[in-house]
Chains A and B, each alone.
Chain A
Amino acid sequence: MTSSPSDTEAAVHRLQEFADSAAEAVGGEAEVQFDTIKLRVSADKWVDALTTARDDLDLVFFSWLSAIDWANDVEAGDPLKEEIEERIELLCTVCDLTEGRRVTFSTDLPTEKPSVASIVEVYVGANWHEREAAEMFGITFEGHPDPGPLYLPESFLGNPLKKSYPLLSREVKPWPGTVDVEAMPEKASTENPEA
């Protein structure tokens, strides 16, 4: 976007090369779209993949961990245009501190009772991110040293970021909402503004 076309092409090429080498090292599939590398691994190799990333690929910086709830029925917002297989996709982005390479690892978990091994042993910073994913999506992280809600109070029921969780304001006013802005008065000086 801010560099010349040949620079961009070279950058894209380097990105694809790195993605392929990372996929080989970890044993997953790489997908590069819009300058983002997404490496899919299977859920049982989740911890190993991230350990390889930290040790061999030099991706020592833990950026974030979260999930996407792929569902066909949504309580709030627009549903997907095409029917897809329902799953919870766990994402974890790790980067390096020299050239700024980043890889988003992704694994699929079943929508009912999703559970995966915790990566707190690999990246210490995953502690809080996993707690947040657990309370927002209902994912169980096995081996997490300190599970428990992070943002939500103890008495909260439900997992808010799942697509099946209703938003109270959208129960009252359905998406996409109504237009309730009043028109501007034509002559501001002669007419009384409407109350």
Chain B
Amino acid sequence: MVTDNDLVKHLSEAQVSVELQTEDMTLNIGPQHPSTHGVLRLVARVSGERCFDVKPVIGYMHRGYEKLSEVRTYPQITALINRIDWVSGYANEIPFIVAAEKLMDVEVPERAQYIRVILTEMARVSSHLVFMASYPLELGAATPLFFALRDRERVLDLIEGVTGGRFHPNFNRIGGVKPNAGSGPITKKTPQDLPAGFLGETRDAMSVVLDTCEEIEDLVAGNEIFRARTKGIGVLPPEVGAAFGVSGPNLRASGVKFDLRKVEDYLPYNKFDFDVVVGENGDCWDRWWVRLEEIRESAKIIQQAVDGIPPSGPLQAKVPKVIKVPKGETYVRAENPKGEMGYYIVSDGGPGPYRLKIRSASFSNISILSWILEGVLVPDIIAIMGSLDFVLGDVDR
């Protein structure tokens, strides 16, 4: 029988545990989310606002480019690969075309190369302007979006004027660029290359772009809140970045002075005078700032190219009508806006490649996510992911 004494003794010995058992919450960020640049899914274990463990899940947009290119001819592949990194459409084609031209030992005429440089740098300006637009939006500032995209429209209009497409130009041909603007009765007789007035309009557009850079720098760079949200957040040491394969502005923001445009010879960048922009700490602020400065450098390159372009010349070298690339293997890489993009072509002498390996920049760029997002706060996840500037098409190919 339980007496009162027993009960009192029991109660006095009872251990009152005041520690509440809290559990971590597993939060699924994506695949449908305003800030994941596409269908990226992050499975995050969060406790309050701090996240312990982030696992990215990719592949929601895997389109099987490498398998597809095994059943396509080389000109057909150029139509496909624009769509890998759809923000900078033209730049995706360049390493592939250069690789094929290397295997075929074809010399590209100079005017075509200048046009390629102009369009590639325009693609870079366009891609970085999208970053300028979307990154402050993820942090909450809605206005730079409109300024950057308004002036990106000018650049896209120029690209469309030359190539016919804003995002997917499909303008490269093996041996140069597309020689004829059309095949109607008038255009067949007068092969046109650049539309009339293109060079003057490009100069105007680049000065407008430089003004926009000033505007965005005023609006965003001096903002105390922006600095507080990005300085010191998501620091990427250069050795870790190199081991993961991070390339492009992300690695340059960590202090590594390495730009494929200076090192590789896929396009005649040695004729132009531009600086390689390097950051200091490798945090989100540096990654933002490096891309802003790269827009300015690209505008410089475009202006020099427009001034120096040979006034006339063939647009495509003589290549046979049915392209058959001789046997061989080569790897060509280029400095894409997102990073290093490369194509490894294994050719067997047929109309299409035996194997095409696409090294896309964003795939390696976001493989650091589980390393860099350990122990950060939830708003910082968005800030860091945004600063890496990736595109899901590039990640998932």
Q: Which residues of A contact B (CB under 8 A)?
A: 1-3, 33-36, 38, 60-64, 66, 68-69, 74, 76-78, 80-81, 91, 93, 97-100, 102, 104, 123-125, 127-128, 136, 149-153, 160-161, 165, 167, 170, 175-176
11 A-B contact pairs sorted by A residue (CB < 8 Å) = A36-B331, A60-B239, A60-B243, A62-B245, A63-B359, A66-B357, A76-B67, A78-B348, A104-B344, A136-B66, A167-B71
| A161 engages B342 (CB within 8 Å) | no
| B264 engages A100 (CB within 8 Å) | yes
| B59 engages A151 (CB within 8 Å) | yes
| B64 engages A160 (CB within 8 Å) | yes
Contact among A151, A153, A160, A170 for B71, CB-based, below 8 A: A170
A80 vs B363: C-alpha distance when bound (angstroms): 30
| A34 engages B102 (CB within 8 Å) | yes
- Tell me, yes or no, whether B274 is within 8 Å of chain A by CB: no
Query: Chain A residues near B344 (CB, 8 Å)?
Result: 64, 66, 91, 93, 104
Contact among A63, A77, A150, A152 for B342, CB-based, below 8 A: A63
- Using known A-B contacts A62-B244, A64-B359, determine if residue A93 contacts B331 with beta carbons closer than 8 Å: yes
Contact among A61, A102, A149 for B242, CB-based, below 8 A: A61
Q: Give the distance to chain A from B52, nearest Cβ to Cβ, in Å.
A: 16
B326-368 with Cβ < 8 A to chain A:
327-333, 340, 342, 344, 346, 348-352, 354-355, 357, 359, 363-364, 367
Rank and list the top 7 A-B pairs by shortest CB-CB distance, nearest first. Answer: A100-B263, A151-B59, A34-B330, A125-B244, A125-B245, A77-B70, A64-B359
Interface 9-residue window, one of B20-28, B133-141, B265-273, B288-296: B265-273
| A76 engages B367 (CB within 8 Å) | no
- Tell me, yes or no, whether B236 is within 8 Å of chain A by CB: no
Contact among B67, B245, B251, B363 for A161, CB-based, below 8 A: B67
| B102 engages A63 (CB within 8 Å) | no
Query: Chain A residues near B260 (CB, 8 Å)?
Result: 100
- Tell me, yes or no, whether B58 is within 8 Å of chain A by CB: yes
| A102 engages B352 (CB within 8 Å) | no
| A80 engages B354 (CB within 8 Å) | yes
| A62 engages B357 (CB within 8 Å) | no
| B267 engages A128 (CB within 8 Å) | no
Contact among B265, B333, B359 for A2, CB-based, below 8 A: B265
Q: A63-B364, A151-B59 given. 14 additional CB < 8 A pairs?
A: A1-B102, A1-B266, A34-B102, A34-B103, A61-B242, A68-B355, A77-B71, A93-B342, A93-B344, A124-B371, A125-B246, A125-B364, A128-B363, A165-B67
- Tell me, yes or no, whether B62 is within 8 Å of chain A by CB: yes
| A64 engages B328 (CB within 8 Å) | no
- Tell me, yes or no, whether B256 is within 8 Å of chain A by CB: yes
- Tell me, yes or no, whether B396 is within 8 Å of chain A by CB: yes
Query: Chain B residues near A64 (CB, 8 Å)?
Result: 245, 342, 344, 357, 359, 364
Q: Give the distance to chain A from B239, nearest Cβ to Cβ, in Å.
A: 7
Chain A, residue nearest B56 (CB): A128
Q: Give the distance to chain A from B42, nearest Cβ to Cβ, in Å.
A: 15
A9 vs B149: C-alpha distance when bound (angstroms): 45
| B367 engages A161 (CB within 8 Å) | no
A141 vs B277: C-alpha distance when bound (angstroms): 38
Q: Give the distance to chain A from B173, nearest Cβ to Cβ, in Å.
A: 16
| A102 engages B331 (CB within 8 Å) | yes
Contact among B263, B265, B351 for A99, CB-based, below 8 A: B263
| B67 engages A81 (CB within 8 Å) | no
- Tell me, yes or no, whether B108 is within 8 Å of chain A by CB: yes
| A63 engages B270 (CB within 8 Å) | no
Q: Give the distance to chain A from B95, nearest Cβ to Cβ, in Å.
A: 13
Contact among B240, B265, B330, B396 for A124, CB-based, below 8 A: B240
Contact among A80, A100, A123, A149 for B243, CB-based, below 8 A: A123
Chain A, residue nearest B243 (CB): A124
| Most chain B CB atoms below 10 A, which of A1, A124, A160 | A1
- Using known A-B contacts A2-B270, A150-B58, A151-B59, determine if residue A97 contacts B256 with beta carbons closer than 8 Å: yes
Q: Give the distance to chain A from B150, nearest Cβ to Cβ, in Å.
A: 35
Q: Give the distance to chain A from B352, nearest Cβ to Cβ, in Å.
A: 7
| A104 engages B331 (CB within 8 Å) | yes
Q: B49-82 interface mask toward A, CB cutoff 8 Å, 1 = contact, 0 = none?
A: 0000000001100101011001101000000000
- Tell me, yes or no, whether B92 is within 8 Å of chain A by CB: no
Q: Give the distance to chain A from B74, nearest Cβ to Cβ, in Å.
A: 13
A98 vs B243: C-alpha distance when bound (angstroms): 15
Contact among B113, B245, B265, B357 for A61, CB-based, below 8 A: B245
| Most chain A CB atoms below 10 A, which of B102, B332, B355 | B355
| A175 engages B71 (CB within 8 Å) | yes
- Tell me, yes or no, whether B107 is within 8 Å of chain A by CB: yes
| B396 engages A151 (CB within 8 Å) | yes
| A33 engages B268 (CB within 8 Å) | no
| B367 engages A127 (CB within 8 Å) | yes
A69 vs B260: C-alpha distance when bound (angstroms): 30
A3 vs B367: C-alpha distance when bound (angstroms): 36
A136 vs B65: C-alpha distance when bound (angstroms): 12
A2 vs B340: C-alpha distance when bound (angstroms): 20
| A33 engages B349 (CB within 8 Å) | no
- Tell me, yes or no, whether B147 is within 8 Å of chain A by CB: no
Q: Give the distance to chain A from B260, nearest Cβ to Cβ, in Å.
A: 7
| B242 engages A60 (CB within 8 Å) | yes
